[in-house]
Amino acid sequence: MKKMTLIFILGIICATLAANDILEQIGTAQELYKSGKFSKAAEELNFAVKMIRGKQIKSISSQLPQNYKDFSGEDTQESSADALFMGGGIEITKNYYNQNESNLTISILAESPMVASFSALFSNPFMMASQQVEKIKHYKATVDFSENSGEIKFMLDDNKTLITISGSGITKEQLTEFAKSFDYAKIEESIK
């Protein structure tokens, strides 16, 4: 019990220090801006944005289970892009494998201009007419499945997060069940 309390307290201290570091970066950028050092101010703000993105990535990744049924999960692959590179954003991918060499993957792309093209697809009934569409929880999703592999794509309610669920060596039912296993409301909350 003492060990759990100590871990909890250390977690709060680390989160507070990280928040203070971010606020310090923003404060430094503000002072540089006031003194007319605009390039340096921009550098400091970009660094603060990277630190904030890092917090978002950790929060989102914590919503993805380590394992799924008889599939073992690998560590998440995480990246964030600067505002200057591909318009910014967050990308998180987690792969799950089982002993039959089947795999399942969830990919989350958030706050990226690349998501806008998918948002247009999902909101355009003429474009959706050529796609196989199913409901994943309450989301309208495109499903592309052939033989033993496929992909499901849908937008979260925030219209800035694209979810891609894919797999191979699996059935369509397994892929759909995997897609329905996540708590997307918590994932969306982590992005805010």
pLDDT at position 19 is: 53
Residue 75 has pLDDT above 70, yes or no: yes
* 18 and 105 in a common domain: no
Average the pLDDT over 93-122 and give the result.
87
What is the span of the domain harbouring residue 170?
65-191
pLDDT at position 133 is: 86
pLDDT at position 98 is: 94
Averaged confidence pLDDT in the chain: 82
* 112 and 71 in a common domain: yes
Largest Cα span, the chain: 63
The DSSP call for residue 65 is -
The DSSP call for residue 37 is -
* 144 and 114 in a common domain: yes
Burial 157-192 (b: 16+ CB within 10 A, else e): eeebbbbbbbbeebebebbbebbeebebeebbebbe
Query: pTM of this prediction?
Result: 0.77
* 14 and 108 in a common domain: no
